[in-house]
């Protein structure tokens, strides 16, 4: 395992975690499809007031997907000799996650543009307070939420694939790191339930949190892992 590639991959994983958190937290227009019209309009108006910040962090959302691909490529190169299949699956899942992250950012940009039109009237004053614009925002909010769920689910499943490859297929990583990634992926397999009942959103929520924790933990482990720890990990794997 190349020490330089290992460190760069670790840094890429940690930067991915940071970008995902910032992008999801500050790039989200936070306009949801509510039954309460008054609350929905209030969210639209609040989003219109935060347009520059939202746009900036929607760019971060796209960057988070590109960073995930860079980290996945690094992991694939590190693992391909001993776990090519599972590493390739992990890389492909991170590529798909990037596509959904970009989709979330572009749909979100459309939402805030429409929110601005709703509040300010848009081109030649057309659209100010329009019910049609409000309905457009509601439809875009549904698409945005779908991309949000899909981006996190594929990111978590990609992390789970790499966690398995590191901890079991190659025996390079400690088992706790493998179990952490598998737990995140297992919870995110339940993502379709998140659109049914509010309480069933919890598996997705905890799976997303564990995915971020795994990205940081795996990044730290790769960035600061010494050559001697490889032999120790291999010995532990053979004893297990």
The pTM of the full predicted model, rounded to 2 decimals, is: 0.89
* Residue 90: per-residue pLDDT: 98
10-residue mean pLDDT profile of the chain (240 residues): values are: 90 98 95 82 92 96 97 96 95 98 96 89 59 90 95 98 95 94 97 90 96 98 74 42
For the range 114-118, what are the long-range contacts, defined as Cβ-Cβ under 8 Å and sequence gap of 24 or more? 114/140, 115/29, 115/31, 115/44, 115/45, 115/47, 115/48, 115/51, 116/48, 116/51, 118/44, 118/45, 118/48
* Residue 132: per-residue pLDDT: 85
């Amino acid at each position: 395992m190349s020490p330089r590639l290992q460190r760069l991959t670790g840094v890429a994983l940690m930067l991915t975690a940071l970008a995902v958190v910032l992008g999801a937290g500050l790039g989200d227009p936070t306009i949801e499809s509510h039954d309460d019209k008054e609350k929905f309009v209030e969210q639209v108006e609040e989003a219109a007031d935060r347009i520059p910040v939202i746009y900036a962090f929607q760019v971060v959302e796209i960057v988070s997907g590109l960073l995930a691909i860079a980290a996945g490529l690094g992991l694939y190169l590190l693992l391909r000799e001993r776990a090519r299949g599972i590493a390739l699956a992990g890389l492909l899942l991170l590529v798909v996650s990037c596509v959904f992250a970009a989709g979330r950012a572009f749909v979100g940009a459309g939402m805030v543009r429409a929110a601005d039109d709703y509040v300010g009237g848009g081109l030649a004053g057309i659209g100010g307070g329009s019910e049609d614009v409000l309905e457009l925002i509601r439809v875009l909010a549904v698409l945005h939420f779908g991309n949000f769920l899909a981006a996190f689910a594929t990111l978590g499943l990609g992390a789970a694939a790499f966690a398995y490859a590191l901890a079991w297929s190659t025996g390079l990583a400690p088992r706790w790191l493998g179990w952490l990634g598998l737990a995140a992926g297992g919870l995110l397999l339940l993502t379709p339930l998140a659109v049914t009942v509010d309480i069933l959103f919890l598996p997705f929520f905890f799976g997303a949190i564990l995915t971020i924790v795994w990205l940081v933990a795996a990044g730290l482990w790769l960035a600061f892992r010494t050559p001697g720890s490889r032999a120790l990990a291999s010995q532990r794997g053979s004893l297990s």
